[in-house]
Amino acid sequence: MKKPIFASVLAASLILGAAGAQTAYAKPAEQAFELNVTEKKILKKINAENMYSTIAELSKTPRVAGTESEWRAVQYVKKKFESYGYKTKVQPFTFEGYDAPTKIELTVGSESFKPGSFTYTVGGKVSGELVLAGLGKKDELQTLDLTGKIAMIKRGEISFAEKVLNAAEKGASGVIIYNNTTGALSGTLGAANEKYVPAVTLTKAEGEALAAKISSGDAGTAHLHVEGGKVETRTSHNVIATKKPVVSKNKKSDVIVIGAHHDSVEGAPGANDDASGTAMTLEMARIYQHVPTDTELRFVTFGAEEVGLIGSYHYVESLSDEEISRTIANFNLDMVGSKDAGDLVMLTLDGKANLVTELAQDKSKKLNGEPTPFGQGGRSDHVPFAEAGIPAALFIHNPTEPWYHSPQDSIDKISKDKLQDVAEIISTSVYERARLDIKWPNVFSGPKMKASPDMIQEQELN
Ligand code: BES
Ligand code: ZN
């Protein structure tokens, strides 16, 4: 790797000498001079107002994957990238979307219930005798004839999906799963499956009372009606803006991916999750538009993160092995601007340091006096990159704000200071790796020397 991570530390200490060493733990304002002139120029370009107004625009509505409003966000992001002069590609992909039931009715004899349901519960209208089916394990069902009947199954030991599939295989037309602990039961069947039959949930108290009635033979016929519960193939999109490196045409360069997800969950404007990261990705693209780099920069906003990281998996899967090996870093910006969240942290899939955390720790120490801490965490678009062996980290504030995934995740909760702080760390970290190195004229037979970043500033920035 051609650029030692701490090259600028070295350059700074050479220039500053002993004075530089003494300022290692000085307060932040005094420390900024550890950054070189070009880095300071990059910092000056960051405009938190820009990011704020992008978040305000994007968070006017939720942006659920595969919907018209996500598509509008895609168009908005694409236009912004193009207005900065980037060649921009919209990358479509499909996924299995799910709409929760609109109505669930269950009556048994003269008694009616208000059942819950699972994600991926299918719709249907079924009637029949209730049969106690234990935990719904295969061996328990072996001697039971469930044909045309509704299986009454207790939570525990095996997954909800297995319980539903085992009962369906024995001919059950519906399934009721009751809780084994207090509180309502909700959950997921994990994925769509055409073998599912309508499956709903009852509380522990409801389930046990009903099980007792079934045992004594006075439960009566059950009628179960699940309306809606629709699985369909939907289309979402990633938006990819590319900044080509300044290198000879046939030499393949390293690639850095700076990204965020533009979709949100249903009912949430997703100002912080993740219009904030989307706005910051756009801002990074804006400030880098005239900065020549010898590393390719890809600014990517991902679709369908909230339904299983689908967009980022699709992006990584669409790369050739050669492109994966050239991709040296992924900076994942997800929830980077809430007033009500804690301090910035970085999360890596394996909890270990990597190129991204090392670059960001170096720069955050110089910017703020303290290196940004890192820990272990998945749950966002860095996961597919990490799984492909690409150094990746999620930038997020910890603890999370109380508005996470709620209708209150709105623009009024966004802090321009937080946006500014993260943007400073990301922009300088990327620069450390992507900056254009100048080779001295090869008049000596010895090894080539590299110019200090300060010496190439005028050429790099307009
Ligand atoms: N931004 C969140 C991830 C997050 C939230 C990480 C809080 C750490 C703390 C992301 O958009 C999200 O909600 N992810 C899903 C998981 C995904 C695989 C569907 C989640 O965490 O439920
Ligand atoms: Zn998110």
pLDDT tens, position by position, 383-427: 999 999 999 999 999 999 999 999 999 999 999 999 999 999 999
How far, in Å, is the centroid of ligand 1 from the Cα of 268?
13
Ligand 1 site residues, Cβ closer than 6 angstroms: 273-274, 305-306, 308-309, 334-335, 377, 379-380, 396, 400, 404
How far, in Å, is the centroid of ligand 1 from the Cα of 306?
7
Q: What share of the chain is helix, strand, coil (3-state, %, to 5)?
A: 35, 25, 35
Instruction: Give bridge partners of residue 228 from the DSSP assignment.
Output: 101
CA distance 364 to 429: 9
Tell me which residue of 373, 379, 383, 384 sits closest to 404, measured CA to CA.
379
Task: Tell me which residue has its CA closest to atom 14 in ligand 1.
Answer: 379
Structure confidence at residue 33 (pLDDT): 61
In degrees to the nearest 10, what's the CA dihedral of 382, 387, 391, 393? 30
Structure confidence at residue 437 (pLDDT): 76
Structure confidence at residue 446 (pLDDT): 37
Structure confidence at residue 15 (pLDDT): 31
Residue to substitute in 312, 336, 379, 395 for testing ligand 1 pocket (most ligand atoms within 8 angstroms of CB)? 379
Collect all residues with Cβ–Cβ distance below 8 Å to 176 and sequence separation of at least 6: 106, 115, 130, 150, 151, 152, 153, 199, 200, 201, 202, 207, 210, 222, 224
Low-confidence ranges of the chain (pLDDT < 50): 1-2, 4-27, 30, 439-462
Which ligand 1 atom is the nearest neighbour of the CA of 394? Answer: 6
Are residues 263 and 70 in contact, defined by beta-carbon separation less than 8 angstroms?
yes
How far, in Å, is the centroid of ligand 1 from the Cα of 377?
10
The two beta strands, 199-202 and 116-119, are antiparallel
- Ligand with minimal distance to 277 CA: 2
Render the burial of 182-212: b for 16+ CB within 10 Å, e for the rest.
eeebebebeebeeebbbbbbbbbebbeebbe
Residue to substitute in 95, 273, 380 for testing ligand 1 pocket (most ligand atoms within 8 angstroms of CB)? 380
For residue 418, the tally of other CB atoms under 10 A from its CB is 20
How far, in Å, is the centroid of ligand 2 from the Cα of 66?
16
pTM for the whole thing? 0.81
Which ligand 1 atom is the nearest neighbour of the CA of 335? Answer: 1
Tell me the residue type at 150.
I
How far, in Å, is the centroid of ligand 1 from the Cα of 265?
10
How far, in Å, is the centroid of ligand 2 from the Cα of 411?
15
Which ligand 1 atom is the nearest neighbour of the CA of 309? Answer: 18
Full DSSP string of 69-107: HHHHHHHHHHHHHHHTT-EEEEEEEEEEEEEEEEEEEEE
Run of H or E including 7: helix 7-16
* pLDDT tens by residue, 275-328: 999 999 999 999 999 999 999 999 999 999 999 999 999 999 999 999 999 999
How far, in Å, is the centroid of ligand 1 from the Cα of 236?
18
Structure confidence at residue 5 (pLDDT): 45
Burial class (CB in 10 A: 0-12, 13-18, 19+), 108: buried
Which ligand 1 atom is the nearest neighbour of the CA of 261? Answer: 11
CA distance 103 to 123: 9
CA distance 394 to 371: 15
Cis peptide before 274 (omega within 30 of 0): yes
Render the burial of 314-330: b for 16+ CB within 10 Å, e for the rest.
bbbeebeeeeeebbbbb
